[in-house]
Structure 1
Amino acid sequence: MALLADKAQLAFAIMRERYPYLPVVLTPFGFGLSAWLANRFFDGSQGSGIPQVMAARRLADQEERSRLVSLRMAFGKILLLGLGLGVGASAGREGPTVQVGAAIMFALGRFAPHRQPGLLLAGASAGVAAAFNAPLAGIMFGIEEMSRSFEVRSSVLVLATVIAAGLTSQAVLGNYTYFGVATDSLGWGWPWLAVGLAAIVGGAAGGAFSRCVILFSMGLPGRIGVAIKAHPVSFAVICGLLVAVCGLMAGGTIFGTGYEESKQILAGQAVPAAFGPFKWLATMLTAISGIPGGIFSPSLSVGAGLAANFAPLIPQVPINVLAILFMAAYLAGVVQAPLTSAIIVSEMTADHALILPIMISALAASLISKTICPEGIYHALADKFTRGKTVIERQT
């Protein structure tokens, strides 16, 4: 998935460099095609895939589970993720790896239905670990976000699967730190204002993002909501056109995962001032369009972009330090999983000197986000897949 995603983004970048206005045509067409394929052949592959895995863990019926985490669904997820990135969608691969990892474990454990919730948890955790080369983040994601609890009998399975996924990822891609190695620290005194700033901005922006995505996914009221539900492909085309416009307004920086732009910001290099706000908008449009794609990487990119926008307010804080704090805060604001967000960012930058301010900013951002969006985005969307179906006792 990683190699396919990189190749797809590179192909789109080459085409856009040669034909700067190509996204105005290609992106809407690609969004429409992806939405049509998802609805026609791979229904259940839409979005990041994390809500589908959460819903599958709750469902009691094996056939209902298989509609969300089958190998066929995994194939469609990989294919349509590549298509989306190849036409300029503001999406990431890290969320879809959760659904793919869960689908693999579901297939392996099909003859042991009583073990399926634990197997799905292990596959989801392994997907995060492999995508970010961040094993601790994978384990914490399973504890904090996927299950909201941790059973002793699942712990060995999750740990073993995460280790296997990490080793396999390193064998294919090599041992690497996702965003490189950062070594700066946050001095005492006034620089700690950056923690509060990151928490406020990241929590508010992340909460607003989640609120918008949940609102559109659950269905807008009135005629607009009815029209979107009746014409999902046309709505995806409109979203694609708006993403293309965002790309033109931001100098072509908002397409894809935003990985390169994030690395530039962490390295102290300038990006367009419009990158952060338009990346937020483009990611939201991609998420509500119904095409397969994750929000992890784009969320980190939005956080880095917002840090670049607010950097002049705290000139004494190095931009890479501010970007790391904003990345953790915004991601925590979106997913409302502060420990997972803090550990992901810490592992991806290998800057352990910042672990305490990272955790504080992520926790505060998550609390601020809850005032705007009371329920986490993944759990709210998971409820849509379990509505009216038989579920097992929900873990708390």
Structure 2
Amino acid sequence: MKFALSRRHKRLLVVVSTRSRRRAIFLLGGVVIGAAAAALAQLADLAQTAFVALLGHSRYLPFVVTPLGFLISVYLTDRFFQNAQGSGIPQAIAARRLTDQTARGRLVSMRVAVGKFVLTLFGLLVGASVGREGPTVQIGASIMFALGRLSPRRQPALILAGASAGVAAAFNTPLAGIIFGIEEMSRSFETRSSTLIIAAVVAAGLTSVALLGNYTYFGTSAMTLRGGVDWLAIPACGVVGGLAGGLFSRIVVAAGGLQAIARHPLLLALGCGFAVAICGFASDDTVYGTSYAQVKTALESGSPLPTEFGVLKWLATTLSSVSGLPGGIFSPSLAVGAGLGSNIAALFTDTPIAAIMLLGMVAYFSGVVQAPITAFAIVIEMTDNHTMVIPLMATSVIAYAASRLVSDEGIYHALARRFVQPGA
């Protein structure tokens, strides 16, 4: 009897120890991801400030700095940090689908994470129209993968938790991070892992807040639609934003499969960098980097963005993505949407411009990623505006439908297929 009880106690201790170790991995990973996201955010601001200082010397310098910067970034990526190109979210999605540990490690290793961190900052330093949020997802997935290497069976959940924590820490949007993990990363709800994923998101969010303070990404606003004619802006933004987002997705996915790009990646990068410099010059230097400052100022003041901003930001972001350098599309996509919304607002003279800009942001983002719930959840959390919930939800769904007319799959999953099946 005593021997049976002893064996039962030992088994119980093993189970408790395993569960505790698993929880510790998720919590520790969340803390490290939060710290990495905060560091990337601070350094990204410094990189963009340095580029603005460069523009202060001469507006013509980007015609040299930006193309050369693109070329160097792509060279370093191909030579030393393979699989660090682009936003990094497709790599994280692919890593979850793969079952081979070695193959996973090629997509979400610490080497890739370091390259992604450094080269994303370098891209912002030379004026690329990229963001830091997508890279934080791949960095988060890589950190979790590294911490959980001894538990291959838990790797899909760890990668999912790392990616979700990355979104939450990057934007200070914990709810959107969880929704992103469910809707975009896994496209299913994993009950057994949900508590641990939430724990990682909370740990990452608290760490980020401790280092950066509790902030709302685009500030706090009470902008809303009053009804009547104002509500016609919902289908207008949904259709325009969805089609533009679908077109962007289709171009980037198609460009990734062209053999000519694989043969001459450095020439492509050089040409894309020069074209981005042209866009920057034509926009009066507003479309370089994330364009976060321009959008936040427009939202807070309720003033329109320049007429050409949306189109030129779309071009600059498309070129930056096609070039193959590391960098995300979250912030640039929101900026494109704000620009398109600002243009559409000219048709609704009595409607608050900032409200229509929000509709444009959620519409374009939903059109690009084809994840409508994530799109409106992230915009709501970034603006702390709950009066716009229904309009944003409706716009996001319309944009999703419009995007499907142009591209039958969201950009992240379409690109992820190339990492799961090379050459596809």
TM-score (norm 1): 0.95
Alignment match of 2:238 (pick from 187, 190, 199) = 199
1:149 partnered with 2:183:
no
CA deviations 1:316-340 (Å, max 9, x no partner) are 2101100111100110000000000
Say what the alpha-carbon RMSD is for the aligned residues: 1.0
Give the conservation status (yes or no) of the 8 Å contact 1:137–1:344. yes
* Aligned equivalent of 1:371: 405
- Bigger drift between 347-356 and 186-195 goes to 186-195
CA deviations 1:328-355 (Å, max 9, x no partner) are 0110000000000000000000010000
Give the letter for the 1:98 counterpart: V
Give the letter for the 1:51 counterpart: P
1:136 partnered with 2:175:
yes
Give the letter for the 2:323 counterpart: S
* Aligned equivalent of 2:249: 210
CA deviations 1:288-328 (Å, max 9, x no partner) are 10000000000000011111112110112101100111100
% identical aligned pairs: 56
Q: CA deviation at 1:73?
A: 0.7
* Aligned equivalent of 2:296: 263
Give the conservation status (yes or no) of the 8 Å contact 1:242–1:282. yes
Q: CA deviation at 1:269?
A: 3.1
- Mapping 1:272-291, distance limit 5 Å: 272-291=306-325
- Structure with higher Rg: it is 2
1:81 partnered with 2:120:
yes
SS at match of 2:288: coil
1: CA distance, partners of 2:351 / 2:257: 41
- Mapping 1:153-164, distance limit 5 Å: 153-164=192-203
Q: CA deviation at 1:147?
A: 0.3
Give the letter for the 1:271 counterpart: L
1: CA distance, partners of 2:181 / 2:70: 31
1: CA distance, partners of 2:237 / 2:44: 30
1: CA distance, partners of 2:224 / 2:347: 18
1:229 partnered with 2:268:
no
CA deviations 1:52-75 (Å, max 9, x no partner) are 001100111111101110111101
Give the conservation status (yes or no) of the 8 Å contact 1:265–1:305. no
Alignment coverage as a number of residue pairs: 383
2: CA distance, partners of 1:378 / 1:348: 22
1:310 partnered with 2:361:
no
2: CA distance, partners of 1:107 / 1:388: 24
Q: Any unmatched runs of 5+ in structure 1? A: 220-224, 390-396
2: CA distance, partners of 1:256 / 1:139: 27
- Mapping 1:42-53, distance limit 5 Å: 42-53=81-92
Q: CA deviation at 1:272?
A: 2.3
Give the letter for the 1:347 counterpart: E
* Aligned equivalent of 2:48: 9
* Aligned equivalent of 1:252: 285
1:360 partnered with 2:394:
yes
Give the conservation status (yes or no) of the 8 Å contact 2:304–2:353. no
1:186 partnered with 2:225:
yes
2: CA distance, partners of 1:311 / 1:188: 15
* Aligned equivalent of 2:164: 125
Give the conservation status (yes or no) of the 8 Å contact 1:90–1:283. yes
Q: Any unmatched runs of 5+ in structure 2? A: 1-39
2: CA distance, partners of 1:46 / 1:278: 23
CA deviations 1:104-153 (Å, max 9, x no partner) are 00001000000000000000000000000000000000000000001111
Give the conservation status (yes or no) of the 8 Å contact 2:303–2:354. no
Alignment match of 2:150 (pick from 89, 111, 121) = 111
* Aligned equivalent of 2:272: 239
Q: CA deviation at 1:19?
A: 1.1
* Aligned equivalent of 2:74: 35
2: CA distance, partners of 1:316 / 1:343: 26
SS at match of 2:357: helix
Q: CA deviation at 1:388?
A: 5.6
Give the letter for the 2:309 counterpart: F
2: CA distance, partners of 1:22 / 1:2: 25
Give the letter for the 1:202 counterpart: G
* Aligned equivalent of 2:58: 19
Alignment match of 2:97 (pick from 21, 43, 58) = 58
| Structure 1 residue ranges (4+ consecutive) displaced by more than 4 angstroms after TM superposition | none
SS at match of 1:353: coil
